[in-house]
Amino acid sequence: MVLGILGGKSHEIKGTVVLMSKNVLDFNEIVSTANAGVAGVVGGIFGTATKVVGGIADGATAIFSRNIAVQLISATKTDGLGNGKVGKLTYLNKHIPTLPTLGDRQDAFSVNIEWDESFGIPGAFYIKNFMQAEFFLVSLTLEDIPNHGTIHFVCNSWVYNAKNYKKDRIFFANKTYVPSETPTPLVKYRKEELENLRGDGTGQRKESDRIYDYDVYNDLGNPDSSADLARPVLGGSSAYPYPRRGRTGRKATKRDPKSEAPTSDTYIPRDENFGHLKSSDFLTYGIKSLAQNVLPQFQSAFGLNAEFDKFDDVRGLFEGGLHLPTDVISQLSPLPVMKEFFRTDGEQVLKFPPPHVIRVSKSAWMTDDEFGREMLAGVNPCLIQRLEEFPPKSKLDASVYGDQTSTITKEHLEINLGGLTVEQALNGNQLFILDHHDAFLPYLRKINDLPTAKSYATRTILYLKDDGTLKPLAIELSLPHPRGDEFGAVSRVILPADQGAESTIWLLAKAYVVVNDSCYHQLMSHWLNTHATIEPFVIATNRHLSVLHPLYKLLIPHYRDTMNINALARQSLINAGGIIEQSFLPGPFSVEMSSAVYKSWVFTDQALPADLLKRGMAIEDPSSPHGLRLVIDDYPYAVDGLEIWSAIQSWVKDYVSIYYATDDAIKKDTELQTWWKEAVEKGHGDLKDKPWWPKLNTIQDLINISSIIIWIASALHAAVNFGQYPYGGYILNRPTLTRRLLPEPGTKEYDELSSNHQKAYLRTITGKYEALVDLSVIEILSRHASDEVYLGQRDNPNWTDDTKALQAFQKFGNKLKEIESKISGRNNNSSLRNRVGPVQLPYTVLLPTSEEGLTFRGIPNSISI
């Protein structure tokens, strides 16, 4: 029901609409071409069918004033049906060429809306777009509302032509209400908008849709192209459990009705794609460009079997550059993603930025100290465990895999324990293990049958020295038994050595460990534990929490662009034959392996304190900060992470306490309860019956759940993402695959261990093509966008009008500034040897803020790359 202005004291409300055009075209360009014929600009740039007469002085006004209209909805006055009154349609007025608060490439328009007191206070508005092209609506601000002042509507949404929608597009003021406190006139509109976002679960999604729904990972394979590109469906079965991803509704492949046909343009709900932002464009579409254009050129130039001859050749990627054939240069140089990789002196040279790990010392990466330090302060610092039993045992099913107990003996360890026995070192909490045995052993037979992969499942035991650093004592390399899995493993224990062939064998043993770790990091610590496990919460939040809900406002910044980057990953990174399969050891079994790890994933263990306790890296101690005491005092990831975790939890507690006074209020919040039930039962449906899922019955439950989600999306992701290129950009330090097993004595390859250790190492690890694939991708993934929004920041200061919430958020921001200062202080403390290490690389990745680019620091709010 649409109302005009009926009686009462009349008044004109001044409004300002801020938006961005589809093509991110500077409106000054439109204006400058107006006299040449605005119709041409509109037709060519915006694709509108509306004709606009040429010669108009203000082209922007001409385009938008006739094609975009708003209708206010009252939050205080109802129509005859008990719903908020709807005002009359009002078109945008004039383009405002300058406005101090405008962001990059945003443009503002005035709108003057008739109002009288019988309409009441606006609480929402409809907007209609009559152009053929969509635009990105940033905000609406209403001023001079009698007895109320200014109302802000934070929108951040793509708005398509009105014919695309069954229901008019609606936006709410920046008020915050739990469902039971929603103003009566807005109740219907609140419910309707959530229904629109849920959809009906049918049909193929189109670009303009905003529907959030769940599906399994059935879109990684391409069986219609080749049987070799078929992949199992992940999710929906006990054999291959997995978190859910966003549903697209695409047609099935011809050969496998359970698999979804691949596409070059994967659907995500439209507002999950921030493609109008310049840096997001570069980062996300850069990956697509690599997969489609760059990597085939690398393969053409070097082939699949090319190797580096010496370590200097690898360093040459950063120092002199890699010479490429002329035809390859001509194909690559125009691509935006590659521009900064080419030398500017005119030579046909591809040159990567030097990774941080070799910026000070070119060889310190080879030391045992650095090998151990990177388990505490490297790119995968959340896997090392305290050794609590000896010998280490396996959790693999003995009826399938036989006895997988470690073959490392006390004698192997005690020769390097400085006089201690294994029992004494265990009791003193001085033995630690990096255990990749169980994750790799079940897949190793299949991996080693691949033409380009040969490796081991590894266990590494380390000793905590008095100076706080870790010393590797032994590495166990295991293979499946040649007679069958049920006979256990065939294992070999390698001990540290610094002379002759034995020293090269030790270096290679460390490489096998690092390859296990690189793959586990990329597929489990990074992809599964952050990207994949967060997406169900993104979907559930948008389906069941209104934008008016306090929890929506708390969580939504931590979801920005996650569905977008995940869809891109399924398309170009983790898909069959994609970048990960090409450059990492498990190849076609890569994502399948992460499904096996997901079987033991526990939501509550993602909280950093719980994770540290579970791994034995901390001991409960109520008298210590955060309620626990670290077993290794100088554990940079844990020390910095606990401060960030505590700050997040304190902020969440302060915020939640504003809106919930009692546990009963939590139980009675219908949106909240439906959100959590669906996130668990559908989003993580394969694990829905696990007893560890928290019940959402108390304020503390909500604080814990929300803190874990924010931690995963922000600090945990930052810790495992932004060190990828700083550490892994030097492929000698973080190889991604091995191509042969240890050579046998008496062979030419074994003799090479002594005569040319560099060649022996390079023959074993990642080849030249795979290295270029890896470097090209992780260089992009390790970068910050210029429009990044960091923890403790918001992209709009008017995200809420609640003063208490704004004050609590300011307190959070101030706390993060304190933490940043403390981290910098620790990095300057020379007694903390793990902070910097032999490579002289300070542990900065959990500093909350960063500049744009490859910085090895900064915690973005969300998983956006």
What amino acid positions are annotated as catalytic residues? 526, 531, 717, 721, 865
At 821, list the tokens.
């200062």
The secondary structure element, H or E, covering residue 565 is helix 562-568
User: Is 52 in contact with 38 (CB distance < 8 Å)?
Assistant: yes
- Residues contacting residue 134 through CB under 8 Å, at least 6 positions apart: 22, 158, 159, 160, 161, 208, 270
- Residues contacting residue 258 through CB under 8 Å, at least 6 positions apart: 218, 233, 252
d(CA 95, CA 81): 37
What is the bridge-based pairing of β-strands 618-620 and 628-630?
Answer: antiparallel
Q: Residue type at 78?
A: T
Closest Cα partner for 380 from 439, 428, 337, 319? 439
**One-letter-per-residue 3-state SS of 10-27:** EEEEEEEEEEEECCCCCH
Peptide bond preceding 391: is omega within 30 degrees of 0, i.e. cis?
A: yes
Specify the residue for token string 């469906």: 233
d(CA 829, CA 497): 31
At 283, list the tokens.
């980062």
Burial 669-686 (b: 16+ CB within 10 A, else e): bebbebbbebbbebbbbb
Name the region of 411 (left: φ>0; alpha: ψ -120 to 50; beta: rest).
Answer: alpha
User: Is 594 in contact with 528 (CB distance < 8 Å)?
Assistant: yes
d(CA 556, CA 862): 9
628 half-sphere exposure, CB direction, 13 A CA radius: 22
d(CA 522, CA 135): 36
Radius of gyration of the chain (CA): 29
DSSP-derived secondary structure letter, 838? T
Give the residue ranges of DSSP H helices in 584-669: 590-598, 608-614, 636-659, 663-668
What are the beta bridge partners of residue 349?
A: 323
d(CA 192, CA 165): 13
CA distances from 854 to 14, 405, 599 (A): 44, 42, 34
- Residues contacting residue 442 through CB under 8 Å, at least 6 positions apart: 396, 401, 485, 596
At 407, list the tokens.
């073959």
d(CA 314, CA 307): 10
